[in-house]
């Protein structure tokens, strides 16, 4: 679910009931940022980590491959970063390019990357991003991190979606809109527990606010890249001024609010844990376009040649959104 098989390269979500953007309460956020993402959002989470690792303390990537897998080429993306039987991400070439960008100061130094806790997930029945591609991502992070900081889950027989313990969603063996499934597997709890490095409790009835943000107003770099509106979930305690952390969750292709409404914003389980654990969740939304008809985050270079870097348009836009919440 990620590009033009992009129909396959993508895969996720139809109109939102939230009206115009709403005023933000004054938040008391720590400097800690954690990120997660599914499919194209998983690729984006990895890219955001490499760009801003000095600020990113935890990363969770579901159903995606190595950072810089596509190497700026859609043909490589389709041929080696999804479910092609002959997929073979070229990790040596990928790392050479990443090191060049690090040395040029266009990515964070590897020493900063090494400080994060990382959780990786790839369903063994995923027909969009194969187990081989997911294993290449795990191998990449194995070279970057101490073993104790890395958790890799590759033994669950799930299709291409965000698995949850909730009932009434997509069947676990199917990959279909809104790409959030009932699997008796609480991915939100597992990924947040690892990257936040603490035991979590869940709110049975989240009572925080899901607010609509004018991304173009808050983040100048978002114009022409992100949709006009994004969203943020703010627990009641955080709205009241309690010290809270920030988590950024990147949707997958076909999974933004214009395509599946509030499904990704409410059904993954992230808000349940955010409410009970002083965690604000930012849900940035990418813009659909002629070059990006399925609403995928840019992991192959449609936005700019520097898409991977600190100055990459989408990386920078999300960084500005995070800064605007502080």
Q: What positions carry a catalytic annotation?
A: 39, 126, 160
Angle between helices 40-51 and 313-324 (to 10 degrees): 80
Q: Which residues lie below 8 Å from residue 284, measured CB to CB, with a gap of 6+?
A: 215, 226, 230, 248, 250, 317, 318, 321
Q: Do 230 and 215 contact (CB within 8 A), yes or no?
A: yes
Tokens of 86: 């002959």
**How many of the other CB atoms lie within 10 Å of CB of 188?**
26
Q: Which residues lie below 8 Å from residue 248, measured CB to CB, with a gap of 6+?
A: 33, 34, 35, 36, 45, 48, 281, 282, 284, 318, 322
C-alpha pair distances (Å), 171 with each of 69, 178, 261, 278, 284: 29, 11, 19, 31, 26
Q: Do 16 and 37 contact (CB within 8 A), yes or no?
A: no
In degrees, to the nearest 5, what angle opens at C-alpha 323 toward C-alphas 43 and 201?
A: 70
Task: Using the Cα atoms of residue 293, residue 297, residue 298 and residue 304 in order, give the sign of their dihedral.
Answer: positive
Judged by DSSP in three states, 246 sits in: strand
Residue 48: phi, psi to the nearest 5? Answer: -60, -40
Pairing of strands 150-153, 117-121: parallel
Closest by alpha carbon to 126, among 61, 49, 192?
Answer: 61
């Amino acid at each position: 679910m990620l590009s033009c098989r992009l129909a396959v390269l993508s895969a996720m979500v139809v109109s939102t009931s939230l009206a115009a953007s709403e005023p933000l309460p004054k938040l008391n956020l720590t400097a800690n940022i954690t990120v997660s993402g599914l499919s194209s959002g998983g690729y984006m989470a990895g890219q955001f980590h490499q760009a801003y690792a000095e600020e990113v303390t935890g990363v969770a990537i579901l159903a995606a491959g190595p950072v810089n897998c596509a190497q700026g080429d859609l043909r490589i993306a389709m041929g080696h970063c999804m479910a092609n039987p002959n997929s073979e991400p070229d990790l040596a070439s990928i790392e050479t390019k990443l090191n060049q960008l690090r040395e040029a100061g266009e990515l964070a130094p590897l020493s900063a990357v090494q400080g994060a806790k990382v959780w990786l997930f790839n369903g063994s029945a995923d027909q969009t991003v194969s187990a081989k591609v997911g294993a290449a991502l795990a191998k990449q992070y194995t070279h970057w991190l101490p073993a104790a900081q890395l958790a890799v889950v590759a033994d669950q027989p799930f299709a291409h979606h965000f698995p949850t313990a909730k009932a009434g969603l997509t069947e676990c063996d199917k990959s279909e809109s809104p790409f959030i499934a009932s699997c008796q597997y609480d991915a939100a709890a597992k990924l947040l527990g690892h990257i936040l490095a603490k035991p979590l409790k869940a709110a049975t009835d989240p009572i925080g606010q899901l607010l609509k943000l004018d991304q173009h107003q808050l983040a100048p770099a978002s114009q022409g890249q992100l949709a006009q509106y994004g969203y943020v979930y703010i627990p009641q305690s955080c709205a009241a001024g309690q010290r809270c952390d920030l988590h950024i969750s990147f949707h997958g292709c076909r999974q933004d609010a214009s395509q599946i409404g509030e499904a990704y914003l409410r059904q993954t389980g992230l808000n349940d844990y955010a409410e009970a654990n002083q965690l604000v969740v930012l849900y940035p939304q990418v813009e659909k376009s002629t070059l990006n008809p399925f609403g995928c985050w840019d992991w192959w270079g449609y936005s700019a040649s520097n898409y991977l870097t600190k100055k990459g348009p989408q990386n920078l836009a999300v960084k500005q959104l995070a800064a605007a919440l502080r």
